[in-house]
């Protein structure tokens, strides 16, 4: 499976015609990070790719801030990543409580990236959901 998405590979080849597809785990993680940012901020039904691409509408859920609603949101994030980011396996999404940011929800996304020769690289992303429902993903 390619470690970069198709358009990323095309852009790389255009910028460097001698590029032969060599990638390292840092490049792959950066590609995954960009894709997670896009897919988690797309609402289902708003992408031509498919009606199920992206996150379900959870704006009311975020405002509820109940523990059940937060767990539902974590499960939704996990399902979307499992379905639309095949470069990651063993996905676990956990709530990362922060006292200072009472109007944001913090999550940790952990998983494994499979590299050549079945070498697994553990990856972790910090994820913040703001009150408007925007999701920020960082390493």
CB 19 within 8 A of CB 13: yes
Cα–Cα–Cα angle for 107, 108, 113, nearest 5°?
145
Q: Which residues of the chain have pLDDT under 50?
A: 22
Q: In what order do the strands lie in the sheet with 135-138?
A: 88-95, 105-114, 120-129, 135-138
Domains of the chain: 6-138 (3.10.450.40)
Residue 124's pLDDT is 94
Name, in order, each residue with C-beta under 8 angstroms of 48's C-beta and a sequence gap of 6 or more: none
Closest CA to 88 of 24, 35, 10: 35
Q: What is the pTM of this model?
A: 0.74
Other C-beta atoms lying within 10 Å of the C-beta of residue 91: 16
Residue 43's pLDDT is 83
Q: How many CA atoms lie within 13 A of 104 on its CB side?
A: 15
Residue 34's pLDDT is 92
CB 40 within 8 A of CB 15: no
């Amino acid at each position: 499976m390619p470690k970069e998405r198709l358009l990323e590979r095309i852009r790389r080849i255009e910028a460097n015609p001698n590029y032969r597809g060599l990638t390292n785990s840092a490049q792959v993680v950066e590609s995954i990070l960009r894709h997670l940012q896009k897919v988690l901020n797309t609402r289902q039904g708003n992408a031509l790719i498919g009606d199920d691409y992206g996150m379900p509408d959870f704006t009311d859920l975020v405002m509820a801030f109940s523990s059940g609603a937060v767990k539902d949101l974590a499960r939704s994030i996990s399902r979307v990543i499992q379905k639309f980011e095949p470069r990651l396996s063993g996905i676990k999404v956990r709530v990362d409580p922060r006292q200072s940011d009472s109007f944001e929800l913090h999550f940790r996304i952990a998983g494994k990236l499979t590299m050549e020769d079945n070498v697994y690289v553990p990856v972790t992303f910090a994820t913040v959901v703001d009150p408007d429902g925007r999701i920020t993903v960082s390493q």
